[in-house]
Amino acid sequence: MNIENIEAFVYINHYGSFNKAADVLYLSQPTVTARIQSLERELDCRLFDRLGKQILLTDKGKQFLPYAQEILHTFQKGKHHLQSKHTLPNELRIGSTVSVSNYLMPDLLTALSRRFPGIHFKLTTAGTDELAGRLTAKEIDVAFVRKQMNPAFQSYPLFEDPIRLYVYRDHPLAAAGKASIRDLRHEPLVFFECGSLDWLRIHRVFESLEQPPNIVFQVDNAETAKKLVLGGAGICFLPGLCARHEEMEGLLIPVEITETAGISLQTHLVALTGQNTVFLDALLEWGVPWSYR
């Protein structure tokens, strides 16, 4: 079985288009089509159906997909292992989202420096989509981002950061420790939003109220949001990671809201498949003792 045919199959499914897969693989569209036809002859079944301009997996294609993905991942990892040098690079280029850069990277970079003396570390802070693009372009080596579904990436879930309501320590809800979304109807809210789909879930919870929430301040920076809450200007839903020091010092008090329980931000460690495995293994073996739990 030709690994290039399997690669074409996986990429067409991911991008939903023969043309897009051809562009990514630096091939012509007829070449990609020929590879799929060859694979279909070998498997003696049709793998894709066309519905107008849309490309859909057949039932047989759906059955074969997880095996194709595993074959491709194993091949790429093995190929890199054989071709890679046994010496570590002089520099590790790390990308991370804002929250990871602000609250985890100082500890992480210090620990990495101890583990890999003599290596220089370069940090780039950006949004998930931008970092995924830089990883594909090989402008960075590893990244801490939201979940990515890309056949070119190896991705490992690293930690979940629960989003909870935080109030200042003298607030009436601080003593109770829990409340319902209806209890917040008249509270002045500081709304911090980082662009994740998880924040849309917070918005939807408020849609159950008869009247819109009293959002007095809407900000896109966690530190600004925290300072507004600390100053008594309002209360705010925040990721636990960014509030952990203030919570430990008793300055910010988490309040459990039943309707928002389980909403969290998920951070994954990603890299191009088969690359930078030494650093990935070190991070995964180490675990995340520096994360918010």
pLDDT at 186 (0 to 100): 87
Residue that the structure tokens 């090989």 belong to: 138
* In the predicted structure, residue 248 carries a pLDDT above the cut 90: yes
List domains and CATH numbers for the chain: 3-83 (1.10.10.10), 91-159+266-286 (3.40.190.10), 160-265 (3.40.190.10)
pLDDT tens figures, 41-71: 999 999 999 888 789 999 999 999 999 998 9
Tell me the C-alpha distance between 124 and 144, whole Å. Answer: 10
- CB count, 10 Å around CB of 272? 18
**Two tokens at 26?**
């630096």
Sign of CA dihedral 156, 159, 160, 166: negative
Mean of pLDDT over the chain? 85
- pLDDT tier for residue 38 given thresholds of 50, 70 and 90: very high
* Residue 80 pLDDT level (bands cut at 50, 70, 90): low
What 3-state DSSP class applies to 274? coil
Residues 6+ apart with CB under 8 A from 240: 161, 162, 163, 164, 247, 254, 292
- Do the Cβ atoms of 234 and 187 come closer than 8 Å? yes
Q: Say if residue 79's pLDDT is above 80.
A: no
Confidence of residue 252 (pLDDT cuts 50, 70, 90): very high
What letter does residue 35 receive in the DSSP assignment? H
Taking residue 63's Cβ as centre, other Cβ atoms within 10 Å add up to: 12
Per-residue confidence (pLDDT) for residue 249, from 0 to 100: 94
3-state SS, 219-256, equals ECCHHHHHHHHHCCCCEEEEEHHHHHHHHHCCCEEEEE
**Quick one: CA torsion of 200, 155, 159, 215, rounded to 10 degrees?**
-20
